[in-house]
């Protein structure tokens, strides 16, 4: 099984603190690590951990940060032959604070490379994949990959994170599955049901919303009046960083394997729950055996 992830790769510098500062202050971190970042790149790591072949396609700058990004993806068995370094540009980087409850505060710099064209993507390779997962950070690459996937009958999945409304409106008609964050769906409107139906009307077969500890809700084109739900697995959260990306990667794996949407959402929810119990970003993503064991015990 082969999955292609298209979009954003970054380097996160993660500091664990007792609590976030409320004003100007110096605080001491109890833990520090450099971790892979970027939605598509994190999802690719999650997919690799689940045993699927996965490639990351996307632009970075041509700097020392890109060296670390590429090395970390390689170490997770992610194919980075189509990670393209753009001369003269800086790579994306973030400072992340994790508090004692596992919640995160992210200050991110997004590379100007994310505004670059996508003419160099090997789109003919998409026909040989089982699924394509894109994020909203590199709109040109996302649009090109989604079009190629739909034209080839390959599952086309969009990570509906917060973005300019124009970007979402451009990508929604191209995606088969759209899995939103709460902030991402909020771009379309405050009414959850109406916004999910808006994504279905735009062309998606499935529109879902992840809500952390409140679970997942979704709508399918085949039964648009039925709002379906999947409760979250109760866990003690240590670190929620990259949990959403792990969810998207696991969802792509399940859909690529031919699972029904409800089964795919439950599988992805389990993978994200396990991630939340572990410190670290995508490095805390579980293996397939761990997810299966978790589901058997739940």
The tens digit of pLDDT for each residue in 200-236 reads 999 999 999 999 999 999 999 999 889 999 999 999 9
pLDDT digits (tens, 9 = 90+) for 44-97: 999 999 999 999 999 999 999 999 999 999 999 999 999 999 999 999 999 988
162: exposed, middle or buried (Cβ count in 10 Å: 0-12, 13-18, 19+): middle
The pLDDT of residue 96 is 86
**Residues sharing a CB contact under 8 Å with residue 286, sequence separation 6 or more, in sequence order:** 49, 50, 246, 271, 274, 275, 294
Helix (H, G, I), strand (E, B) or coil at 236: coil
The pLDDT of residue 89 is 97
pLDDT digits (tens, 9 = 90+) for 104-119: 788 999 999 999 999 9
Structural domains of the chain sorted by starting position, each given as residue range(s) with its CATH number in brackets: 2-297 (3.40.1190.20)
Instruction: Look up the pTM and report it.
Output: 0.95
Q: Is the dihedral of CA 47, 192, 216, 206 positive or negative?
A: negative
Place of tokens 């709002």: 227
């Amino acid at each position: 099984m082969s999955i292609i992830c298209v979009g954003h790769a970054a380097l996160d510098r993660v500091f664990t603190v007792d609590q976030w500062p409320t004003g100007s202050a110096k605080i001491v971190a109890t833990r520090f690590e450099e971790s892979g970042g970027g939605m598509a790149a994190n999802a690719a790591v999650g997919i690799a951990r689940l045993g699927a072949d996965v490639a990351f396609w996307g632009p970075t700058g041509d700097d020392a940060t890109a060296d670390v990004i590429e090395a970390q993806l390689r170490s997770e068995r992610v194919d980075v032959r189509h990670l393209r370094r753009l001369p003269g540009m800086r790579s994306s980087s973030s400072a992340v604070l994790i508090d004692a409850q596992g919640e995160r505060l992210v200050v991110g710099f997004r590379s100007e490379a994310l505004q670059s064209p996508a003419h160099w993507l090997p789109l003919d390779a998409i026909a040989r994949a089982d699924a394509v997962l894109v994020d909203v950070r590199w709109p040109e690459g996302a649009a090109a990959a989604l079009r190629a996937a739909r034209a080839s009958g390959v599952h086309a999945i969009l990570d509906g994170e917060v973005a300019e409304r124009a970007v979402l409106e451009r990508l929604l008609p191209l995606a088969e599955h759209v899995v939103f964050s709460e902030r991402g769906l909020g771009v379309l409107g405050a009414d959850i049901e109406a916004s999910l139906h808006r994504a279905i009307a735009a062309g998606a077969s499935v529109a879902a919303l992840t809500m952390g500890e409140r679970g997942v809700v979704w709508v399918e084109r085949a039964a648009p009046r039925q709002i379906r739900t999947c409760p979250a697995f109760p866990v003690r959260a240590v670190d929620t960083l990259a949990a959403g990306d792990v969810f998207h990667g696991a969802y792509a794996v399940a859909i690529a394997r031919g699972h029904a949407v409800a089964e795919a959402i439950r599988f992805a929810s389990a993978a994200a729950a396990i991630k939340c119990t572990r410190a670290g970003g995508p490095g805390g993503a579980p293996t397939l055996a761990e997810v299966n064991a978790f589901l058997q015990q739940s």
